[in-house]
Structure 1
């Protein structure tokens, strides 16, 4: 396999890493999709309609979860909000039962990034309570410099708002000092719209390498654990 590198000038200038959570730094064994299905059933979505809705939900990986329910109930804003609340409650219960775990090497990667002077933001399309539940379940409160969810920034992915909010909150001088890593095309699009120097796809979550590259990923690596090598050990990361 060939070596996957960022240009040295880009790598040396990174001062902030915005890392997606579900599928990138943490995995849940499919719990989020089960919670979506349970919420939809509560509102009468069954059979083929449920199957189609779950396909839509999968295709919306990485996007703001509240927005996903708005697309599932396009003509009924009240039901969309109620179904999202049911989803969040069900998913939070699954988190408490132990469904989430860290991607191997993710925690060490965050420590290494920060030790090298790179600030880290953990970002998610789930709500604030859900994000905090994940961080608490993994004992990750305080692991990163900042955690953000869609509602903190105003809009979720594929909009650039979370990346730009992190830039402002952490006093980063230039968006060209930012690396964004995620497992979905939405993560990549958000990074590119924000003007980030690096939009890195990872293969521990929703989408394969060719879809991440098609979205414009500047690099694709097997895992978020590879980010330090991508930045500082120029021959250590194999392309995929």
Structure 2
């Protein structure tokens, strides 16, 4: 029986209009390093400091700690600007799916390549927050049981640490009782590395063929379909 569903944020549960892609590319390009859409896509779902470091190196730049830190600061500034101009919204059916899952006793967690400060700002804009332990989905905003950010673990995706940290925070012990859902290759890799059920969703940039080319258990149209996968009626 599934006890925990851990979902990525941008592109999986939240439509932020692809602004994270633009911000990631621009913060690197502004220091004089060229990027490509393919290179940026490769690092989607990963810790953003790790992504910036890799993109600078791939472009032939010097990824010194100071340069990476400055680029990361600029990345966060750009996201604030973009999100203010075009606010992120919950993807279709996601909140309802979260409430259905929690109503059936399944814990819901978000894992993200964003740092805690970025994630908290994003969640606040949506009105999402973490419910107290044992509290079901009564308050409309209390749709989560845990949020884990990449700056809270030793390494971001494709490492399994965020999924395992979500298990720790929700008291789930068996990896076989966990679904991890995401819209990127790194999301699937992290799920497989964690030993959980790997679910790809088609609400991001990759189509079914691109996701299905990587190890997975299910490919769904979106997180909204997870309750049906578990035979829970919405």
Q: TM-score, normalization: structure 1?
A: 0.85
Partner SS for 2:179? strand
What residue is the counterpart of 1:151 in the other structure? Answer: 151
Provide the residue aligned with 2:134 in structure 1. none
Partner of 1:224: 223
Q: How many residues align?
A: 217
Structure 1 moving runs of 4+ over 3 Å: none
After superposition, the CA RMSD in angstroms is 1.7
**SS of match in other structure, 2:87:** coil
The 5-angstrom pairing of residues 174-189 of structure 1 reads: 174-189=174-189
Structure 2 counterpart of 1:110: 98
Q: Deviations over 1:116-165 (max 9, x none)?
A: 11001111101111111110111012320001111112211000000111
Report 1:1-240 matches (<5 A): 13-45=1-33, 49-50=34-35, 52=36, 54-74=37-57, 75-77=62-64, 78-142=66-130, 143-196=143-196, 198-232=197-231
State the Cα distance separating 1:95 from its structure 2 match: 2.2
CA distance 1:61–1:37, change in 2 (3 Å): closer
Counterpart Cα distance in 2 of 1:171 and 1:37: 37
- Offset of residue 97 of structure 1: 3.4
Structure 2 CA distance for aligned equivalents of residues 192 and 72 of structure 1: 24
Q: Distance in 2 between the 1:233 and 1:130 partners?
A: 32
